[in-house]
Amino acid sequence: MQTRMTEMLGIKHPIIQGGMQWGGLAELASAVSNAGGLGILTALTQPTPDDLLKEIERCRGMTDKPFAVNLTILPTIKPVPYEEYAQAIVDSGIKIVETAGRNPEPYLPLFKDAGIIVIHKCTSIRHSLKAQKIGCDVVSVDGFECAGHPGEDDVTNMILLPLAARRLKIPYVASGGLGDGMGLAAALAMGAEGINMGTRFMVTKEAPIHDKVKQAMVDASELDTSLIYRTLRNTARVFKNSVAERVLEIESRDGPTSFEDIQPLVQGVKGRELFEGGDLDKGIWSAGMVLGLIDDIPTCEELITSIVEEAEEIISQRLNQLVSA
């Protein structure tokens, strides 16, 4: 299944593993790349730009296939030296970067001069058009279903993808709510050159998180996510646990929400400890509505192969018969 994106990125299957805080380590990224998709390391999961360089080297020791680095530019509790992370990516010789969170324009000259392909994640068509205008190579269209930050427009991929087909000239991938071959076939039908998955890849054997967290996601349904930080206009879709419910309770109080009231509950380090130790109510973690479609814990190879085979079967059998009958 070759698309403009598989050709551009030099990968076998049109499937990307999106950047994931605390999840985007070499174990997962290399497993996805070895299975023919595009694995992505998450820059800010590494405490310093130097550590990122070491993680890139570690990943190179685990795969000889292309992999990328995600640079997420979002408001953070602690200031982040973004320029230094961007420079480390360039110095490492990485050739594909996924940017997210904010307009990546300030970093584009650096990346483009180094011959880096930039995939920018957007939650609206206007941001996608802007990404195209400033010179990004691929847009990852993240619908309202997605884990992490869906933006404030609440538009799902059913609308965003056909809009992208009408308005974008550069290739785009569908992101958010995808976890099986039906999703891949539907995304391709809506003009996408492939899919980007986050939550589904967190529930694989190689995902570097505690088995209890994976099992909780297998047991969960499509109703088990919460939209927190709405009142701060920085909405995040996370797994519905007691901490997410407490955050929502604080946000529902009269008057403006102060982040100071929420901060102790949502510190990044608590999310990391939750992933490591398996205490499901230690903090919060990003998870999408695709939880409803996840009922096993395969290897990345098994997952990617089954998604591609199911999509091929749908396209060559069911859809083909519909039009040739």
Q: Which parts of this chain interact with ligand FMN (CB under 6 A)?
A: 18-21, 23, 42, 70, 72, 100, 121, 142, 145-148, 175-178, 196-200, 202, 285-288, 290
Q: Which residues contact 97 (CB under 8 A, 6 or more apart)?
A: 68, 69, 70, 71, 89, 111, 116, 117, 118, 119
Using DSSP bridges, classify how beta strands 67-72 and 172-175 pair: parallel, antiparallel or unpaired: unpaired
User: d(Cα 108, Cα 104) in Å, to the nearest integer?
Assistant: 6
Joined tokens for residue 300 = 């990345």
Minimum CB distance to ligand FMN smaller for 98 or for 262: 98
Can you tell me the distance from the alpha carbon of 208 to that of 281, in angstroms, rounded to the nearest whole number? 18
CB of 322 to ligand FMN, least distance (A): 28
In this structure, are residues 52 and 25 in contact, taking their beta carbons and an 8 Å threshold? no
Question: Shortest gap between Cβ of 42 and ligand FMN (angstroms)?
Answer: 5
Find the residue with minimal CB distance to ligand FMN: 198
Nearer CB in complex with ligand FMN: 36/104: 104
Measure Cα distances from 279 to 225, 274, 285 in Å: 17, 5, 12
How is residue 140 annotated by DSSP? E
Q: Between 40 and 253, whose beta carbon lies closer to ligand FMN?
A: 40
Which residue number, 65 or 272, has a Cβ lying nearer to ligand FMN?
272
Cβ proximity to ligand FMN: between 92 and 157 the closer is: 157
- Minimum Å distance from CB 291 to ligand FMN? 8
Which value, in Å, is the radius of gyration of the alpha carbons in the chain? 19
In the bound complex, what is the minimum distance in angstroms from residue 43's beta carbon to ligand FMN?
Answer: 9
| For ligand FMN, the closer CB: 154 or 261 | 154
Helix (H) or strand (E) holding 60: helix 49-60
Asked whether 204 and 267 are in contact (CB, 8 A), the reply is: no
Residue 171 or 198: the one with the smaller Cβ distance to ligand FMN is: 198
Shortest Cβ distance from residue 285 to ligand FMN (Å)?
5
Decide: 90 and 112 in contact? Cβ < 8 Å: no
Q: How many CB atoms lie within 10 A of CB 210?
A: 17
Q: Which residues sit opposite 148 in a β-bridge?
A: 237
Three-class SS of residue 68? strand
Least gap, CB of 85 to ligand FMN (angstroms): 12
The minimum distance between CB 178 and ligand FMN, in angstroms, equals 6
